[in-house]
Structure 1
């Protein structure tokens, strides 16, 4: 299993963004990472300065969302939907996407995934994949 360090994740997104800006070929997950970054103009300045980005900390107590966590969750969701893992996540996403902008639909999944991960960490248990899918389905039925 691939377990990148914080620095590796941050450099991955910064490098993909730089390649995108420089119109260099993107390979593998860089394509998706650059697309996700392009949809987040609020992060463009940060991504353009990899050395600064690697060393910066964002703390929830200060009301800050870690942009690399946000981008990484987008990447995870893209992968989940593409392979329908956990089972049912693709259909739940498509139901949301039928009612809203695809990026906004991804943000609904982000919220549900973040809550599911937080619950697992709080309870010292593995993530409940079905609870995650059910949360997305509930959101889809309300919108």
Structure 2
């Protein structure tokens, strides 16, 4: 784990592969994405859990997984939504007050590291070869 306090969660998407699937084909969609962060977590698909520090800032960004072969493709994070609603330890900032349309920022308060992982939704848009589609995945955040 990194000594950095704040976390950047990056959603890497195989833009040329995912664009052939609809959001209803969850298994196929999940095969096309990886999530990693700046805390030395190895990107993986096992449980899509990001480990973050209590009382820290968060940013979610999207990226084309194979940017060198799909140079004009892009991924935009459209929404982060906690499943627990108002009881969530994830607090999302209003886009108008910061990040704009390129990424989403938020924070977590002071939380015990024994708290169970929290599920949330990432809604994102993929543009591949001029075709745009929207997708949703359900990763987790765990305090370490």
Normalised by the size of structure 2, how large is the TM-score? 0.28
Q: Which has the higher strand share?
A: 2
TM-score, structure 1 as length reference:
0.28
Asked which structure has the greater CA Rg, the reply is 1
| Higher share of residues assigned helix | 1
Q: Which has the higher contact order (CA 8 A, sep 6+)?
A: 2
